[in-house]
Structure 1
Amino acid sequence: MTRIRRTVAAASVALVALALTACMSDDRSGPSGAPRASTPADLATGQVAPDGATTDVVTGLEAPWSVVRTGHGADALVSLRDSAEVLELTADGETRTVGIVPGVQHGGEGGLLGLALHDDDLFVYSTGEDGNRVERYDLRGSAGSYELGDATTLIDDLPANTFHDGGRIAFGPDGMLYASVGDAGASEDAQDQDSLAGKILRLTPDGDVPDDNPFPGSPVWSLGHRNVQGLGWSADGTMFASEFGQDRRDELNVIEPGSNYGWPEVEGSGGEDRGFVDPVQQWATDDASPSGLAVVGDTVFIANLQGRVLRGVPVDDPGTAREYFAGEYGRIRTVLAGPDDTLWFVTNNTDGRGDPGAGDDRIVQVPLTTGS
């Protein structure tokens, strides 16, 4: 039994993909060989796009999964999936170990996964001996000297497997903690409201079930998911989630409380007449494997593993997309807003499924331009 601690539906439309990368050099070591992106000529007001040459923020990471900035300039925390280390990336580009999350059982896609910061606490999603779990750690010290303090388990015994572990956690604009839980290989459980497999969960920062969740007494926020790995919100509160499909279609969904997104009855679009919510955009699985997601301005940026590309999707036209850095950096796991009007994205070539290049894995930074 799972223990909980007490203390825009739209039809899928065709993808409009515009390849905007240049400088196809494999040399990532310096500005002269760095891939570049150019602002699209038709960038609408409020939309955001990469514009300029990339630079490496840090290199030599082993299977990085999640990155959260601490709010102190370029200082950030990074999770390493296999070693269960939380690293601090300091403003000068150096790394130091903040701590090792105890009891992490790495295997396949499991291990130390999502991170989130809230009120000076670090929230961690990881795979333990008895399944996946979400813990809250006191984050002690300050920039350059952070340490992991005491841990409190918020929810555990979440479904786990060597694949489909979900793992993304994020705080919404309502101050609640959202967590994606994969179907853990038991696809039928995604349709079972009483199972936490194949769900997006919503909890208070203390691990309680909010009174306004759609199913009384349940942490379930939405169901019918296969393996959500990206969560984010636009300025108007719209919640977006990126999701791995199986053989046919990967998805970008707009998440509404209590809604059912169809897996395994439906993969991709075609479920509305059966009471399921269709994705606002879908891709062939070979072209996507959408992982981390970040909303910056009026653009949803999506990191893609199998597709080896960064996509930008307009919030007000989510059935379209632009592509950046296609094939330049290999697998891309995570994307987030960087400091000083930049975008960061995280490669994932050392996790056993990629083809590592010199310096992999890395966090990459690129300047951003906002349409006006």
Structure 2
Amino acid sequence: MNRIHSLLTAALLLAAVPVAAQSPLPIVTSFPVGTTTVTVSALANNLVVPWELVWGPDNFIWMTERGGRISRINPATGAVTPLITLADVATSSEGGLLGMVLHPDFATAPYVYVVYNYTENGVYLEKLVRLTYANGTLGAPLVLLGSIPATSTHSGSRLLILPDRTLLMSTGDAQQQSQAQNPASLNGKILRLNLDGTVPANNPTPGSLVYTLGHRNPQGLARSPAGRLYSSEHGPNNDDELNLIEPGRNYGWPNVEGLCDLPAEQAFCSQNNVREPLTTWTPTLGVAGLAYYSSPAIPGWQNHLLLLSLKGSRLTDLALNAAGDAIPARTDYVTGFGRLRAICVSPQGRVYVATSNRDGRGNPNVPDDRILVLENRDFVVTATTAPAAARLRLWPNPARYTLTLERPALAADAVSISDALGRRVQTSRFAAGQMQLTLSIERLKPGVYLVQNGSRSQRLVVE
């Protein structure tokens, strides 16, 4: 699939009426990564402190903004479609609506998990909430974890769902430094929960949500295809950290800043199972969003970590060794756009970066805040999951009145459509030898569905 075709495909994936639609803006700049030229263009402008970017199963970018808004962004046009503004989000300095993640089985479990600050009886707190996506909106909030102490700074918080369907959630120390070492406190930790908010039976400490402790303010979470977990973390005035996350380990704060290189730190590290960071930064950069880059689109970044920074105002390429447990080199890119906070990577290898210049600490320009696209425009996208002849094809997608299916040769005759809760809502059948089938879907409500033909399936968005 070439780039033009992929953009046209993405342009069809608009499931609601957008606001502030725009065409992709011209190239702002470009830079070399090895022999590859990476271009930077602006996708969306005039945002207000984007905090999280997630590449969704609908091939849209899902975004949180610190003030409480959650939106979908069309990666082909930059159109921003608001889904909800959470009324109980309480912003204060660094606090507000923070991290987000989508359920990996979104077609059958249309859940969106978010972390945000709120006020209860005059007390500033933090909670993890599950929202349900239906009919182009988010609703039905369910609090999975609440009443976490918070302040206007050091709240974290990123979310990451693991292949075993457990959820990692990072929390800051909320300026209560000693609580980072208190195993009974939820502050200064990386927590691990089941997706219903309960404690996994195989957590490091039975009955406890604590996965790791000793964190100051973790601002990024990423996982490699090999299963390695990484986190970026703010230091005080020294020693921002990039950590390899291992269950049950202690990451030192506040007793250790950065490496275990002072006598008192060395003693604490040896007695408390401390895992030293893979690399540190002094002066600090204000490290933020983190992503693992596995695409061949930009070969110089393949199997590297990409790290954003706020105060440092840059993207840093962190090369990993083969085992993924050391960083032999790091290279800085993408300066000149101010504070950079959120990052996600598309299946085609495009990198999306959100600025954070309107967060009270930056110097916003007229277009800020904005989302930038970093891409190799010479890269030709090809199907890697299966040859085209072996896939179930359907179009248009999104659809409203009719849907055409094309099955692969020798595939099953039966076709079923299930809603986001896994309920079968429509069935049909290919006639003997028939390769294309057109269905009426007028009675289906707007939402995300799963179309199945034997072992093959495709997601469908109904407008």
Measured against the shorter chain, the TM-score band is: 0.7 to 0.9
Correspondence for 2:344: 336
**TM-aligned CA deviation for residue 273 of structure 1:** 3.6
Correspondence for 1:360: 368
**TM-aligned CA deviation for residue 187 of structure 1:** 0.4
Cα distance change, pair 363–243 in 1 and its aligned pair in 2 (3 A): same
Give 1:190's aligned amino acid.
A
The CA distance in 1 between the partners of 2:287 and 2:351, in whole Å, is 17
Q: 2:70 aligns with which of 74, 86, 96?
A: 86
SS across alignment from 1:190: helix
SS across alignment from 2:178: helix
The CA distance in 2 between the partners of 1:51 and 1:116, in whole Å, is 31
Q: Does residue 1:296 correspond to 2:286, yes or no?
A: no
Bigger shift: 254-263 or 126-135?
126-135
Correspondence for 2:42: 56
Cα distance change, pair 63–329 in 1 and its aligned pair in 2 (3 A): same
Q: Deviations over 1:73-110 (max 9, x none)?
A: 3x22211102x111221242111221111311111111
Q: Deviations over 1:193-249 (max 9, x none)?
A: 111110000101111110010011111000000000100111111100000000111
Question: 4+ runs of 1 displaced by more than 4 Å?
Answer: none
- The answer to whether the 8 Å contact 1:182/1:225 transfers is yes
SS across alignment from 1:35: strand
**TM-aligned CA deviation for residue 347 of structure 1:** 0.6
Higher gyration radius (CA): 2
- The answer to whether the 8 Å contact 1:281/1:319 transfers is no
Give 1:117's aligned amino acid.
L
- The answer to whether the 8 Å contact 1:66/1:114 transfers is yes
Cα distance change, pair 201–51 in 1 and its aligned pair in 2 (3 A): farther
- The answer to whether the 8 Å contact 1:240/1:255 transfers is yes
5 Å-filtered alignment, 1:133-282, equals 133-141=127-135, 146-270=136-260, 271=265, 272-275=269-272, 276-282=274-280
- The answer to whether the 8 Å contact 1:59/1:361 transfers is yes
- The answer to whether the 8 Å contact 2:216/2:254 transfers is yes
Give 1:330's aligned amino acid.
G
Identity of aligned residues (%): 33
Q: Does residue 1:283 correspond to 2:281, yes or no?
A: yes
- The answer to whether the 8 Å contact 2:220/2:288 transfers is yes
Give 2:94's aligned amino acid.
E
The CA distance in 2 between the partners of 1:353 and 1:338, in whole Å, is 29
**TM-aligned CA deviation for residue 174 of structure 1:** 2.6
Give 1:294's aligned amino acid.
A
- The answer to whether the 8 Å contact 2:316/2:331 transfers is yes
The CA distance in 2 between the partners of 1:158 and 1:179, in whole Å, is 12
Q: Does residue 1:66 correspond to 2:52, yes or no?
A: yes
5 Å-filtered alignment, 1:16-35, equals 30-31=26-27, 34-35=28-29
Give 2:73's aligned amino acid.
L
- The answer to whether the 8 Å contact 2:25/2:43 transfers is no
- TM-score normalised over the length of structure 2: 0.68
- The answer to whether the 8 Å contact 1:80/1:113 transfers is yes
The CA distance in 1 between the partners of 2:101 and 2:58, in whole Å, is 15
**TM-aligned CA deviation for residue 341 of structure 1:** 1.9
**TM-aligned CA deviation for residue 319 of structure 1:** 4.3
Give 2:234's aligned amino acid.
F
- The answer to whether the 8 Å contact 1:172/1:232 transfers is no
Correspondence for 2:87: 102
The CA distance in 2 between the partners of 1:51 and 1:71, in whole Å, is 28
- The answer to whether the 8 Å contact 1:241/1:293 transfers is yes
The CA distance in 1 between the partners of 2:141 and 2:25, in whole Å, is 39
Correspondence for 2:313: 308
- The answer to whether the 8 Å contact 1:58/1:93 transfers is yes
**TM-aligned CA deviation for residue 314 of structure 1:** 1.9
SS across alignment from 2:180: helix
**TM-aligned CA deviation for residue 338 of structure 1:** 2.6
Give 2:289's aligned amino acid.
G
Q: Deviations over 1:159-201 (max 9, x none)?
A: 2101000111111233211111100000010000111110000
Q: Deviations over 1:311-353 (max 9, x none)?
A: 1112324242111112x11100011103522111111001110
- The answer to whether the 8 Å contact 2:320/2:328 transfers is no
The CA distance in 1 between the partners of 2:162 and 2:288, in whole Å, is 18
The CA distance in 2 between the partners of 1:285 and 1:251, in whole Å, is 11
The CA distance in 1 between the partners of 2:216 and 2:165, in whole Å, is 25
The CA distance in 2 between the partners of 1:115 and 1:238, in whole Å, is 20
Q: Does residue 1:318 correspond to 2:327, yes or no?
A: yes
The CA distance in 1 between the partners of 2:138 and 2:225, in whole Å, is 32
Q: Deviations over 1:292-329 (max 9, x none)?
A: 11111111111100111101112324242111112x11
**Aligned residues, how many?**
325
Cα distance change, pair 355–29 in 1 and its aligned pair in 2 (3 A): farther
SS across alignment from 1:321: strand
Alpha-carbon RMSD = 1.8
- TM-score normalised over the length of structure 1: 0.84
**TM-aligned CA deviation for residue 72 of structure 1:** 2.6
Q: Deviations over 1:263-308 (max 9, x none)?
A: 000110014444321100000144x111111111111111100111
Bigger shift: 52-61 or 267-276?
267-276
Correspondence for 2:440: none
The CA distance in 1 between the partners of 2:270 and 2:37, in whole Å, is 42
SS across alignment from 1:189: helix
- The answer to whether the 8 Å contact 1:338/1:365 transfers is no
Q: Deviations over 1:49-83 (max 9, x none)?
A: x732111111110111011122233x22211102x
Cα distance change, pair 280–193 in 1 and its aligned pair in 2 (3 A): same
Give 2:293's aligned amino acid.
V
